[in-house]
Chains A and B, each alone.
Chain A
Amino acid sequence: MTSAHANPDDLDLYALGALDGEDKQALESHLHACPHCQQQLAAARQRTALVGLAAPAVTPRPQVKSALMDKVQAEKRSPAPQSDPLKTRKKRWGLRFSFGFGLATALLAFATYELAKQDLGRGRQLKQLQAQIAQDAAALQAMGQVTGAPDSAVIALLQQPGGPQGQAHVLYNARMGLAVYSGQIAPAPADKSYQLWLVPASGSPVSAGLVDANQQNGAVVVRLTPGLAAKAFAVTLEPLGGRPQPTGPMVLVGATS
């Protein structure tokens, strides 16, 4: 793989998201150093994207466009509110989140340096670490946006009677559609996952993805639908991998006001 170019089949499967295991790792290692195959992957991405055209076109309800254009109008008209009652609390949380990510990034950078010194043959581990660093750096950037915005809110999520011990906080900015979760809960059973939910003012809960039991020093940044007013956030115990809608008991809950 390092000398010859990648198999076009592999590029298609990678673009499709179907490649996994060693095949995926080998291709990613090759792509890292091969501009030609990066170009071929670009073409494969475009090609495989079009498979979705096999789904019959469906015209959305007119209300969807109306709501979209209303949001666009509102964004043009109204900048973010200037009042900032949460400034002090947000700053403290911002520092804490930033410290966690900064520390993680520094450790990963150091680990990468050490690996590079020790053994050039550990390219795969290096690549994984580099990807993690890049992800953390991007998460940090997103987190900075939330913590720096005057219209972000901090929501404390508290444990429920009879449930596992735990506590968490969510920094949420509805305008940006960004939430930052940090917290700690008693470990979940092996066949279960903790799942974070945004509970909107109306309608069904919206999944904000899975969270680890110990998310105390490594906050999670979640991208949600911008403009979604939250009534509360909650963590539930779900079957491994999570579910599209909550099915398990609420472990942590916090209202936005």
Chain B
Amino acid sequence: MTAQPQPVPDSALIERMMAGDEAALSTLYDRYSAMLFGMLMRILRDQQAAEEVLQDMFLQLWRNAAQFDAKRGSLPAWLMVIGRNRAISRLRGRRDREVLEEEEGDYANTFASGQNIEDEAVRAELARNISAALEQLPAEQKQAVELAYFEGMTQSEIANRTGTPLGTVKTRVRTAMQTLRQILG
């Protein structure tokens, strides 16, 4: 039996990028582009727009690799947050989420170390668990979480969109997030 080669850690690839190694960027793109593009497509529902955001994110990663502190955070989670913010800003014509908050690299230092999703198998299993968890939520809870995550709505906006009292929406979102928190750890 032959042991599977271990994937090169994100932290090592980041260091190589900082030294100008384009192959490291290529590896990170291959590792995370499908995950990110799926999310971007879900938010934007526009292939060209999603492609532009995706390319822009990796170009920013290349230019600002030094901003990311791999010891203190998860690169895919950082990419997911930035990608989501950019996509929602574009979707809603809002600049407030994206204009300057990414620039200083603060995000990189605000993430606690979490689940290791550098490994594709771990990532795939986590994705299955999250999808399953969302499917198991009552329909109205699932809708509330999806409106918040994929359309960037606040609780008040969800209440307006669905014609539901704000208090009810708050309860739905909180309950849903409690369930997801148990799964996501």
A residues contacting B by CB (< 8 A) are 8-9, 12-13, 16-21, 38-39, 41-43, 45-61, 64-65, 67-69, 71-73, 75-76, 135, 138-139, 141-142, 177, 193, 195, 203-204, 206-207, 209-210, 220-223, 225-228, 238, 241-244
Contacts and interface: CB of A to CB of B under 8 A. Distances in A.
Given A9-B178, A227-B59, A57 B94 contact: no
A18 B157 CA distance: 9
A207 B55 contact: no
Contacts, number: 204
B68 interface: no
A135 B100 contact: yes
Given A46-B114, A56-B38, 13 more contacts: A17-B97, A18-B155, A20-B156, A45-B77, A45-B110, A47-B185, A52-B80, A55-B41, A60-B34, A64-B55, A65-B26, A65-B29, A72-B62
B18 interface: no
B103 interface: yes
A220 B29 CA distance: 32
B84 to A, nearest CB: 6
Nearest to B73: A46
Contact of B93 (A51, A71, A243): A243
Contact of A58 (B34, B63, B83, B92): B34
Contacts of B42: 52, 55
Nearest to A18: B148
A193 B94 CA distance: 12
Interface of B: 20, 22, 25-26, 29, 33-35, 37-39, 41-42, 46, 48-56, 58-60, 62-63, 73-74, 77-78, 80-81, 83-84, 88-95, 97-100, 103-104, 107, 110-112, 114-115, 117, 123, 126-127, 130-131, 134, 145, 148-150, 152-158, 173-174, 177-178, 180-181, 184-185
B154 A19 contact: yes
B81 A49 contact: yes
Nearest to B157: A20
A75 B153 CA distance: 37
Contact of A57 (B22, B38, B90, B174): B38
B149 A47 contact: no
B84 A68 contact: no
7 contacts: A19-B154, A43-B112, A50-B130, A52-B39, A57-B37, A57-B38, A73-B22
Contacts of B174: 9, 12-13
B48 A204 contact: yes
Contacts of B20: 76
Contacts of B73: 46
Nearest to A12: B177
B93 A207 contact: yes
B100 A244 contact: no
A213 B48 CA distance: 30
A243 B80 CA distance: 24
